[in-house]
Amino acid sequence: METKPLAILAAGGTGGHMFPAQALAEELLVRGWEVKLSTDSRGARFTQNFPKAVKIETVSSATLAKHGLISKIKAPFLILGGILATLKTFLKRRPHIIVGFGGYPTIPALSASILVSLPRIIHEQNGILGRVNQLFAKKVHLVACGTWPTILPENITSEHIGNPVRKEILSRSGAPYIPPGNHPMSIFIMGGSQGATILSNIVPEAICTLPNELLQYIRVFQQAREEDCQRVRSYYSSQGVACEVLPFFDNVASRLSEAQLIISRSGASSVADIGVVGRPSILIPLGSAIRDEQTLNADPLKKLRAATVIAEQNLTPKRLNKAITKILSSPEIASKMAIHAHKTVLLDAAKTLADRVEEISGLNMR
């Protein structure tokens, strides 16, 4: 006989969706919940750091935005199959609540929850609702917003929750910042959960052409696509710059807290992580984002002068070099940026979201 309430967390296959889901899972487990993650095979690749107590269930789903006639024809059938399979599991054991974090893999769980009248929440990390969250915004009991303000349809029940951050990141919250100077300095480059080729193309040249009085102290930690890693490593090595270039860093919390400067996309989870630890950053919003949500994500850091924001279309090695030089040449500027970055986040986001889960489900596990 089950004694623990069951929460189904549904998330798409990118770190931007999966990391907040992981943070909520960690908090709910502490409160005595049973937690299952519903995702697709792509999303399952990002679950290696989820608590072992979380059961991972993969469902069939598909994006309706893919090009190609065959993909467009297949997508509705894949989604329907996922909904029916999920509905079967819900009828076998009724969950107490469904929480969707965006992405097409959340469609089966949220659709099934509507069919059997389950309490449901969606969490939107960005300042603009993603396609799937737009679809379900009027059909859930709460839209929890990670960024504020968030552009929402009218008559939506919403609340600014903040973006839940994983415990490993929270453990470095406000970690003391070592300003740049005549000592070893770390630059950490994050390209999003799957790297970014444009950063691989531009960042190495921008760094390697820094003034020697800075360059001699610098070590680079750069996330890059697997196909770009060797090329990027070789470039740094040819210029005598110590580096570690990987498709994915398991020790992100350490890399963030030890860095003098972060260069990153401005995905919602990346921005939240930078804010929690409190580090100066140069942010390059994703230029191909249809809703330009990454520019909105960067705004809080930009307004507090905690980050330099460079639009992707304006990104050149020379411009990036200038921005890096300005920050690393001024310990005072860098230190103020670190302090201001930490002011942009809601540190209790995971706890607040867990509170809403318990309230909307009608349970109180505390």
Q: pLDDT tens, 148-188?
A: 889 999 999 999 999 999 999 999 999 999 999 999 999 99
CATH architecture classification, 6-165+347-361: 3-Layer(aba) Sandwich (3.40)
pLDDT of residue 170: 97
pLDDT of residue 258: 98
What is the mean pLDDT for each group of 10 consecutive residues in the chain (366 residues)?
A: 87 89 98 95 82 93 64 76 93 97 94 97 95 96 94 93 97 97 97 80 98 97 95 97 94 97 96 98 89 92 97 97 98 98 97 98 75
Same fold, 6-165+347-361 and 170-342: yes
pLDDT of residue 67: 58
CB contact set of 350 (below 8 Å; sequence gap of 6+): 23, 24, 26, 27, 164, 165, 170
- The percent helix, strand, coil of the chain (3-state, each to 5) is 45, 15, 40
H or E element, residue 221: strand 218-223
Per DSSP, the residues of 261-305 read EEEE---HHHHHHHHHHT--EEE---TT-TT-HHHHHHHHHHHTT
Tokens of 99: 């929480």
For the chain, give every domain's residue range: 6-165+347-361, 170-342
Give the tens place of pLDDT for each residue, 277-300.
999 999 999 988 778 899 999 999
Q: How far is the C-alpha of 110 from the C-alpha of 113, rounded, in Å?
A: 5
Phi first, then psi: give them for residue 260, nearest 5 degrees.
Answer: -85, -25
Strands (E), 34-96: 34-39, 55-58
The closest alpha carbon to 271, from 283, 255, 257, 260, belongs to 283
pLDDT of residue 61: 73
Preceding omega of 149 cis (within 30 degrees of 0): yes
> Around Cβ 233, how many Cβ atoms within 10 Å?
18
The CATH number of 170-342 is 3.40.50.2000
Crossing angle of helices 268-277 and 15-30, in 10° steps, is 60
The closest alpha carbon to 299, from 101, 125, 124, 127, belongs to 127
